[in-house]
């Protein structure tokens, strides 16, 4: 399907489920971006879950969002259980405004939902010449180090910085070996998952996505990954007023209430301590890229470059939506 039609379909679907045009467009832009950067697990495959949650009244299609200015740098957003993209869009916008005015913008968002790809928000700041950290928590997927039970989400850590080129540095990584969306998509499409990323509920390694979803995902670098997940839970859950410590509900099978996910956006000017940021960052990247490469590696990439290349390649291509997912979306528009 071409991009314009895919975007129209998403907007129409969200509007059928009660969103206004502005909110539906914010959501559609985020989902299309995910497809373009090749993160299909966070693209159209997710639409059905947002609509199911609206239908079950655990996402609010008509949120009354409250924006509380705490100081010229600090803002607190209560997203009133809107689709996650909407609270996150406001969060990063306010963080950018505050940073431009004062040097730093610090924005917490509570009562939000799954906001898709952290990098999508961080790069908005980087494209405006600002450095950004974005954090969000997510439903239980990995066990804290030493525990038998899942509690932390795949809680991505995201950092973006301008590079003096069109492509910002965007390190955007979940703290799990692979992100949960990939496992869900594999389960939906009957595919296997890689070895070494998950255990079944009995603690045995599995490549079956369904067994992985009812078991546990493995964090990156054992206790270090678990520590990063905990840090993100504190930053996005504890301090924003959102759910934390395993209380974020699973978006796919827990309809007992809203997710109340939290996000934190920290945005600042790169030249707070120096005058020649662009020269310094270019020098920094150049030195890394000039290093001798190991066999099989053509060029050293900085984080974000691979996604930017995929985005450019896909920009004029049709979006490949698996028939199963497309049929699900069509049926959302029938009911
Ligand atoms: N909202 C949520 O609850 C949630 C939860 C988990 C993940 N996510 C999102 O899922 C997405 C995917 O996460 P992921 O952990 O699978 O990311 P990933 O493994 O695809 O990439 C992680 C990072 O490594 C970089 N990278 C990849 N290959 C590279 C290379 N060869 N050289 C240099 N850098 C390279 C990427 O640019 C990226 O910054 C992220 O956008 C994340 O925000 C969202």
Q: What is the pLDDT of residues 25-69, one digit of tens each?
A: 999 999 999 999 999 989 999 999 999 999 999 999 999 999 999
Cβ of 220 below 6 Å from ligand 1: no
Q: How far is the CA of 173 from the centre of ligand 1 (A)?
A: 4
Q: What is the pLDDT of residue 136?
A: 98
Q: Which atom of ligand 1 is nearest to the CA of 158?
A: 43
Angle, CA of 309, 197 and 45, to the nearest 5°: 55
C-alpha span between 160 and 118 (Å, rounded): 10
DSSP letter at 274 equals -
Instruction: Yes or no: say if 84 and 112 are a contact pair by the CB < 8 Å rule.
Output: yes
Residue 141: closest CA among 195, 84, 198, 206:
198
What is the pLDDT confidence band of residue 335, given thresholds at 50, 70 and 90? Answer: low
Region of residue 304 (phi > 0: left; psi between -120 and 50: alpha; otherwise: beta): left
Angle, CA of 133, 42 and 177, to the nearest 5°: 70
Nearest Cα residue to atom 42 of ligand 1: 117
- Residue 334: pLDDT over 90: no
Cβ of 206 below 6 Å from ligand 1: no
- Top mutation candidate among 85, 179, 219 for ligand 1, by most atoms within 8 Å of CB: 179
Q: How far is the CA of 236 from the centre of ligand 1 (A)?
A: 18
Average pLDDT of the residues in 248-275: 97
Long-range contacts: 234-237, Cβ < 8 Å, 24+? Answer: 235/135, 235/264, 236/135, 236/136, 236/137, 236/155, 236/261, 236/262, 236/263, 236/264, 237/137, 237/261, 237/262
- Top mutation candidate among 42, 133, 173, 261 for ligand 1, by most atoms within 8 Å of CB: 173
pLDDT digits (tens, 9 = 90+) for 285-315: 999 999 999 999 999 999 999 999 999 999 9
- Top mutation candidate among 114, 305, 306, 310 for ligand 1, by most atoms within 8 Å of CB: 306
Q: How far is the CA of 20 from the centre of ligand 1 (A)?
A: 31
Nearest Cα residue to atom 25 of ligand 1: 303
Nearest Cα residue to atom 24 of ligand 1: 303
Q: What does the block give as tokens for 271?
A: 């030249």
Instruction: Yes or no: say if 179 and 41 are a contact pair by the CB < 8 Å rule.
Output: yes
pLDDT digits (tens, 9 = 90+) for 85-124: 999 999 999 999 999 999 999 999 999 999 999 999 999 9
What is the pLDDT confidence band of residue 243, given thresholds at 50, 70 and 90? Answer: very high
Arithmetic mean of pLDDT over the chain: 97
Residue 237: is it exposed, middle or buried by C-beta count within 10 angstroms (0-12/13-18/19+)? buried
Q: What does the block give as tokens for 155?
A: 């809680």
C-alpha span between 248 and 152 (Å, rounded): 9
C-alpha span between 325 and 139 (Å, rounded): 23
- Top mutation candidate among 303, 304, 308 for ligand 1, by most atoms within 8 Å of CB: 303
Q: What does the block give as tokens for 325?
A: 């997912």
Q: What is the pLDDT of residue 148?
A: 87
Give the β-pairing of 104-112 and 74-78: parallel
**Residue with the two structure tokens 């996505």:** 209
Q: What is the pLDDT of residue 181?
A: 87
Q: How far is the CA of 244 from the centre of ligand 1 (A)?
A: 22
Cβ of 303 below 6 Å from ligand 1: yes
Average pLDDT of the residues in 263-282: 98
Cβ of 115 below 6 Å from ligand 1: yes
Cβ of 41 below 6 Å from ligand 1: no
Q: Which atom of ligand 1 is nearest to the CA of 119?
A: 41
pLDDT digits (tens, 9 = 90+) for 138-179: 999 999 999 989 999 999 999 999 999 999 999 999 999 998
Report how far apart, in Å, the C-alpha atoms of 243 and of each of 4, 95, 134, 148 are: 36, 21, 17, 21
Q: Which atom of ligand 1 is nearest to the CA of 114?
A: 1
């Amino acid at each position: 399907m071409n991009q314009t039609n895919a975007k129209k379909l998403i907007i129409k679907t969200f509007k059928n489920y009660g969103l206004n045009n502005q909110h539906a467009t914010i959501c559609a832009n985020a989902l299309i971006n995910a497809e373009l950067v090749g993160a299909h697990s966070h693209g159209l495959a997710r639409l059905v879950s947002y609509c199911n949650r609206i239908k079950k009244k655990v996402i609010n299609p008509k949120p009354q969002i409250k924006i509380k200015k705490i100081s010229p740098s600090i803002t607190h957003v209560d997203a009133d259980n809107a689709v996650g993209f909407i609270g996150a869009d406001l969060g990063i916008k306010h963080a950018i405004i505050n940073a431009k005015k004062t040097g730093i913008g610090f924005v917490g968002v509570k009562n939000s939902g799954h906001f898709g790809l952290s990098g999508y928000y961080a790069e908005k700041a980087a494209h405006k010449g600002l450095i950004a950290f974005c954090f969000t928590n997510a439903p239980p997927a990995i066990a804290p180090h030493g525990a038998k039970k899942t509690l932390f989400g795949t809680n991505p850590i995201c950092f973006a910085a301008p590079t003096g080129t069109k492509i910002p540095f965007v390190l955007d990584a979940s703290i799990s070996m692979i992100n949960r969306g990939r496992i869900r998509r594999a389960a939906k499409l009957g595919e296997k998952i890689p070895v070494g990323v998950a255990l079944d509920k009995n603690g045995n390694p599995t490549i079956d996505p369904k067994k992985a979803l009812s078991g546990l995902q493995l964090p990156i670098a054992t206790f270090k990954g678990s520590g990063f997940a905990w840090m993100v839970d504190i930053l996005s859950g504890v301090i924003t007023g959102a759910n934390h410590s395993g209380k974020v509900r699973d978006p796919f099978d827990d309809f007992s209430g809203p997710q109340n996910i939290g996000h934190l956006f920290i945005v600042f000017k790169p030249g707070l301590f120096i005058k020649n940021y662009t020269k310094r960052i270019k020098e920094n990247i150049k030195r890394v890229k000039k290093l001798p490469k190991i066999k099989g590696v053509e060029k050293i990439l900085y984080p974000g470059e691979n996604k930017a290349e995929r985005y450019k390649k896909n920009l004029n291509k049709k979006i490949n939506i698996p028939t199963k997912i497309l049929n699900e979306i069509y049926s959302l528009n029938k009911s």
